[in-house]
Amino acid sequence: MRLSPLPSPAATRRRSLLTLLILVLVLSSATACQRGSAQPEAADQAPDVAMTFAVSPDPPAVGWSTAVVTLADAHGQPIEAARVRLRGDMNHPGMQPVLAEAADAGGGQYAAQLGWTMAGDWFVIVTAELPDGRQAVRRFDLRVRTP
């Protein structure tokens, strides 16, 4: 004779298995979301730093361009001895980024070669590791034309 409506051990096991399955699904979809979102840009730690980006030829065409980044402090003094990296991405998915490390050209100028692989809209994220240990990050949008 059954006195209590306690679930059978099998039912309990089924329920905890279901809970586990749901938990796994929730966690994996959260991870997928993170991965699917746009490349997280490193945080800008130096909003007081003035950064400019120039490219030649201007406007750039598919192929090689010379990019020059300038860095100046809040007083307009050039920032030298920074480490400047560039990452170019198109505004549509499925493209390989264009990466370059700029050479210190002196006077707060940093030069890099960027090889545009396709005509269209690009954005370049410039990350400058400053001598004071901070990181300046800026985004520059540009359109690359067909040669």
Residues that bind Cu ion (CB under 5 A): 90, 95, 118
Please give the Cα distance from 78 to 74 (Å, whole number). 10
CB of 94 to Cu ion, least distance (A): 7
Please give the Cα distance from 85 to 126 (Å, whole number). 6
CB of 64 to Cu ion, least distance (A): 17
Q: What is the chain's length?
A: 147
CB of 126 to Cu ion, least distance (A): 20
Please give the Cα distance from 126 to 139 (Å, whole number). 6
Torsion over CA: 47, 100, 84, 76 (sign): negative
Closer to Cu ion by CB, 86 or 130: give it: 86
Closer to Cu ion by CB, 50 or 95: give it: 95
Closer to Cu ion by CB, 67 or 98: give it: 98
